[in-house]
Amino acid sequence: MIAVTQLNGKQYWINPHQIEAIETNPDVTLIMLSGKHVIIREKPEEVIDRIVAYRRQIGAFKNEE
Q: For the chain, count helices (H), then strands (E).
A: 1, 5
Residue 64 belongs to a domain = no
Residue 44 belongs to a domain = yes
In this predicted model, what pLDDT tens digit does every residue of 2-35 receive, in sequence order? 999 999 999 999 999 999 999 999 999 999 999 9
Q: Which pLDDT value is given to residue 65? A: 52
**Domain that includes residue 32, residue range:** 2-59
Residue 7 belongs to a domain = yes
Domain count, the chain: 1
| Residue 64 pLDDT greater than 70, yes or no | no
Overall average pLDDT of the 47-58 stretch: 94
Single-letter amino acid code for the residue at 64 = E
Q: Which pLDDT value is given to residue 59? A: 85
Overall average pLDDT of the 35-42 stretch: 97
